[in-house]
Each structure stands twice: as structure tokens, then as C-alpha cells.
Amino acid sequence: MNAKRLQFFKGLLQAKIAELSSDQQKTLAEMTLTDERLADITDLASFQSDRNFELRIRDRERKLIAKIHEAIQKIDDGTYGICENCDEEISEKRLIARPVTTLCIQCKTEQEKTEKLKGPWGGQTMRFNSSESPFTQEEDFS
């Protein structure tokens, strides 16, 4: 990838960091200013649920910022846009769609197929010892 395209992606990534950081600052300001003395327990529960949702979003954004920093480091190192699995160049279309990607579309597709085959526990099955079983032999479900 030429230097001009690398600078384009670096600018794109830096702009995203600025946007996410701004959102985090707004959330922090809103959380410190919000009055938690709500009259109704239902209002309080709703408020806390909304706050937890907002915190989960910000945590995901924090992880994205870390990935963005890694991508910028790869630009500086000269390895940006190279698939970590097969060492082939990642298409610009894919990089525009997901600038922090580290896998080409073929490798990512293979990774997702493998994950799908393994299931939600990564190929592990849920097993209980008889003492850990949520059901007992004496229970009658009729």
C-alpha cells in the first residue's frame, strides 16, 4: 500500500479515536451530573439499567480504541493491511469497512466457520458431576 493510502487510513483511525474519546467524556460528565434521587423504585431500576447499558457501550468503545492504536502502530511499522494469518494484502474495501481488521476476508470467513462449528463453548461440552447437577434423582416432574 502506498504512503498516501496509509496516511488516509491513519487519519481515518485518528478521527475515530477523537470521536470515541469525545463520547466517553460526555458520558463521564453526564454520569457525574445526574441526580440519582429518583422518587420511584421503578424509575431507579430503569435509570440503573440505562447506566449499565451506557457503561457496556463505553467498555466496547474502550476496546475498539485499543484496536485502533494497534492499527496505527501497524501503519507506523509498515505492516498495516497485511493479513496476520496468510500474509496476503487485505483489500482496501475491507479496510475501509473495518479499518482495524487484521485478517483478509478469506481468513476471516474460515475463522468464523470454525467458530460456528465449535459452538458457543469453543468445542467444549457442558458436563456436570452428579453432585453439581441442577436436578436430583428424587425430583418428580409429573
Which residues of the chain are under the pLDDT cut of 50? 142
Give the domain ranges of the chain. 3-118
Q: What is the DSSP string of 11-68?
A: HHHHHHHHHHHHHHHHHHHHHHH-----SSHHHHHHHHHHHHHHHHHHHHHHHHHHHH
Domain 3-118, CATH: 1.20.120.910
Does the pTM surpass 0.85? The reply is no
For residue 24, give the C-alpha cell: 466517553
Residue with C-alpha cell 487510513? 9
